[in-house]
Chains A and B, each alone.
Chain A
Amino acid sequence: MAIIKGIELIKNGKRLDGRKPMELREMEMKVGVVPNANGSAMVRFGKTTAIAAVYGPRLALPKHLQSANKAIVQCRYNMAPFSVDERVRPGSSRREVEISKVVRLALEPVLFLENYPKTTIDIYIEIIEADGSTRVTSINAASLALADAGVPMKDLVVAVSGGKINGKLIIDLNGIEDNNSEADIPMAFIPGKKEITLLQMDGELKHEEIKEIMNNIFKAGEEIYKMQVKVLKDKYRVIV
């Protein structure tokens, strides 16, 4: 998705894909999409699709990875080569290495790692199609996958991006908005405690605008949280 000089991303209060500034894209969530994994989930925001699978807690090997008093979390965010316009070369790019780290840190605070010494909880995320906001979509998927795996959690983690295009504050940036935005804030939080576990920003914003975008994210996150809870409950309703 390219940088286009002078592009008008918002016209008459509508974004290029027809959304209002504070409107999320169409969302889809499923759990149990990878039968082999202990837990898994697919989350789609518009065209951005992430599949997350959780393996573990299982013995951490090789042994030097083990921590004597808690579980470790290993996370890999990976973009499928066909997920964007120009093919992504397989193997971790610097961007993917960084995102893997911040996604892991976004999820760790809700886990009871001290309950599983010497083990690893492995979170693998594949971006099948990318159209902006992939890291937050990954967090929503991984959070569901952890719950689906039955890993005890203090709460789910909810994530969404907010930003500014053509001087207007918006929520849930798609690819073209992401690349041409004045600013972009991906954020994840624990809904119950309103605790922020991922916060990044790039662009140009005044402090007041940052506050406003964060408020917008908290608000939009409620909608995502409701859907996460629903898909989890629905799965177990079928079993009962």
Chain B
Amino acid sequence: MIRSNYILKLLEKDERLDGRKLDEYRPIVVEKKIIGKAEGSARVKLGKTDVIVGIKTEIETPFPDTPNEGVLKTNAEFAPIAHEEFLPGPPGEDATELARVVDRGIRESKCIELEKLCITEGEKVWGIYVDIHVINHDGNLIDASALGAMAALLNTKIPKYEDNKIIRNEFQMDLPVVHKPVTVTVGKVIDKFLLDADQEEEQVLDAWLSIATREDGVVCAMQKGGKSGLKQKDVDDMIVLAMKKSKELRKKL
């Protein structure tokens, strides 16, 4: 409580606990191809927040209404190692939301050419599994996970498939990725906007808006969270800020 009041007091003066500017991210470290067994992978650190994203590919049956398209599935696991409040068990509300927000950013941007992942129309397609594994939670899991997912997809390779068998260590092609969507979450507290809130800062946010944008300036997904409402002007300002910052994040891919 005292700590929260202190954070708010600092924010009034446009200051943060760790000395960052309001629109400044913590140091962003993106490591690629870190899991040999995965078809694609990345590890993203935003300060002390640490997320690993691994991509696995499996043979799947396509959805009936998209018989010639590969299938994308995103899952997030809040591993109990990552935070004192993360418990073993099936994904809760926040992990489910995280997975779905990251999924929408990828899916709606149409960054993966899913029709190139068809093996036999209506029967067999490649399933792309994006698994987000939180190693340490210090806030802003959405941006870290979305960045990690995109970084991992960009180095994903599709294995060879012969005689109805996946040959795991031989590859036929790179995953066809044609866009680079990036998600920026803008927090609002009092009348200030801040980026890359750490876990303590997240506790004092009134509201937040995650905005996924493509390199051509198209917005492809949004999600509002937090306990308070937003004005339309806030939303406009948040979109402008997210678009500006996304350019910086995209360079890390």
Closest to A95 in B: B100
Which residues of B86-113 have CB atoms within 8 Å of chain A's CB atoms? 91-94, 96-97, 99-100, 104, 107-110
Q: Across the interface, do B221 and A202 meet the contact criterion of CB distance under 8 Å?
A: yes
Chain A, 1-37, contact with B by CB distance < 8 Å: what is the 0/1 string? Answer: 0111000000000000000000000000000000000
Q: Across the interface, do A200 and B93 meet the contact criterion of CB distance under 8 Å?
A: no
Q: Across the interface, do A199 and B108 meet the contact criterion of CB distance under 8 Å?
A: no
With both chains docked as a complex, state the minimum distance between the C-beta of B181 and any C-beta of chain A, in angstroms: 10
Alpha-carbon distance between A235 and B225 when the two chains are bound, in angstroms: 34
Q: Across the interface, do B66 and A196 meet the contact criterion of CB distance under 8 Å?
A: no
Kindly list chain A residues whose C-beta atoms are within 8 Å of the C-beta of B66.
3
Q: Across the interface, do A199 and B219 meet the contact criterion of CB distance under 8 Å?
A: no
Kindly list chain B residues whose C-beta atoms are within 8 Å of the C-beta of A210.
219, 235, 239
Interface of B is mostly: mixed
Q: Across the interface, do B219 and A97 meet the contact criterion of CB distance under 8 Å?
A: no
Q: Across the interface, do B100 and A195 meet the contact criterion of CB distance under 8 Å?
A: no
Q: Across the interface, do B96 and A202 meet the contact criterion of CB distance under 8 Å?
A: no
Q: Across the interface, do A105 and B227 meet the contact criterion of CB distance under 8 Å?
A: yes
Cβ of B249 within 8 Å of any chain A Cβ, yes or no, is no
Which residues of B64-83 have CB atoms within 8 Å of chain A's CB atoms? 64-66
Q: Across the interface, do B99 and A94 meet the contact criterion of CB distance under 8 Å?
A: yes
With both chains docked as a complex, state the minimum distance between the C-beta of B211 and any C-beta of chain A, in angstroms: 8
Residue with the highest number of chain A CB atoms closer than 10 Å, among B110, B214, B225: B225
Q: Across the interface, do A195 and B230 meet the contact criterion of CB distance under 8 Å?
A: yes
Cβ of B243 within 8 Å of any chain A Cβ, yes or no, is yes
Stretch from A51-59, A120-128, A186-194 at the B interface = A186-194
Closest to B68 in A: A5
Q: Across the interface, do B218 and A204 meet the contact criterion of CB distance under 8 Å?
A: yes
Alpha-carbon distance between A98 and B91 when the two chains are bound, in angstroms: 11
Kindly list chain A residues whose C-beta atoms are within 8 Å of the C-beta of B240.
207
Alpha-carbon distance between A108 and B225 when the two chains are bound, in angstroms: 12
Known: A199-B224, A202-B221. A214 touches B100 (CB 8 A): no
Kindly list chain B residues whose C-beta atoms are within 8 Å of the C-beta of A94.
91, 96, 99-100
Alpha-carbon distance between A203 and B228 when the two chains are bound, in angstroms: 25
Cβ of A197 within 8 Å of any chain B Cβ, yes or no, is yes
Kindly list chain B residues whose C-beta atoms are within 8 Å of the C-beta of A197.
224, 229
Alpha-carbon distance between A75 and B14 when the two chains are bound, in angstroms: 36
Q: Across the interface, do A202 and B108 meet the contact criterion of CB distance under 8 Å?
A: yes
Cβ of B165 within 8 Å of any chain A Cβ, yes or no, is no
Alpha-carbon distance between A95 and B224 when the two chains are bound, in angstroms: 16
Cβ of B223 within 8 Å of any chain A Cβ, yes or no, is yes
Kindly list chain B residues whose C-beta atoms are within 8 Å of the C-beta of A190.
229
Q: Across the interface, do A199 and B209 meet the contact criterion of CB distance under 8 Å?
A: yes
Cβ of A201 within 8 Å of any chain B Cβ, yes or no, is yes
Chain A, 84-127, contact with B by CB distance < 8 Å: what is the 0/1 string? Answer: 00000000001101101110010011000000000000000000
Q: Across the interface, do B222 and A199 meet the contact criterion of CB distance under 8 Å?
A: yes
The residue that A98 contacts in the complex, of B100, B218, B221, with Cβ under 8 A, is: B100
Alpha-carbon distance between A180 and B134 when the two chains are bound, in angstroms: 33
Kindly list chain A residues whose C-beta atoms are within 8 Å of the C-beta of B224.
102, 105, 196-200
Which residues of A194-240 have CB atoms within 8 Å of chain B's CB atoms? 194-207, 210-211, 214-215, 218
Kindly list chain B residues whose C-beta atoms are within 8 Å of the C-beta of A4.
65
Q: Across the interface, do A105 and B219 meet the contact criterion of CB distance under 8 Å?
A: no
Known: A95-B100, A210-B239, A211-B236. A196 touches B225 (CB 8 A): no
Q: Across the interface, do A207 and B93 meet the contact criterion of CB distance under 8 Å?
A: no
Known: A109-B227, A109-B228, A195-B230. A202 touches B220 (CB 8 A): yes
The residue that B104 contacts in the complex, of A2, A202, A206, with Cβ under 8 A, is: A202
Alpha-carbon distance between A201 and B210 when the two chains are bound, in angstroms: 10
Cβ of B176 within 8 Å of any chain A Cβ, yes or no, is no
The residue that A200 contacts in the complex, of B96, B223, B239, with Cβ under 8 A, is: B223
Alpha-carbon distance between A199 and B96 when the two chains are bound, in angstroms: 17
Kindly list chain B residues whose C-beta atoms are within 8 Å of the C-beta of A3.
65-66
Q: Provide 24 A-B residue pairs closer than 8 Å at the C-beta atoms, listed in order of the A residue.
A: A97-B92, A97-B96, A101-B93, A101-B96, A102-B224, A105-B225, A109-B227, A196-B231, A196-B232, A196-B235, A197-B224, A197-B229, A200-B221, A202-B104, A202-B220, A203-B108, A203-B220, A204-B108, A204-B109, A204-B219, A207-B217, A207-B236, A210-B239, A218-B232
Given A198-B224, A202-B107, 4 more A-B residue pairs with CB atoms under 8 Å apart are A98-B100, A202-B220, A205-B218, A210-B219
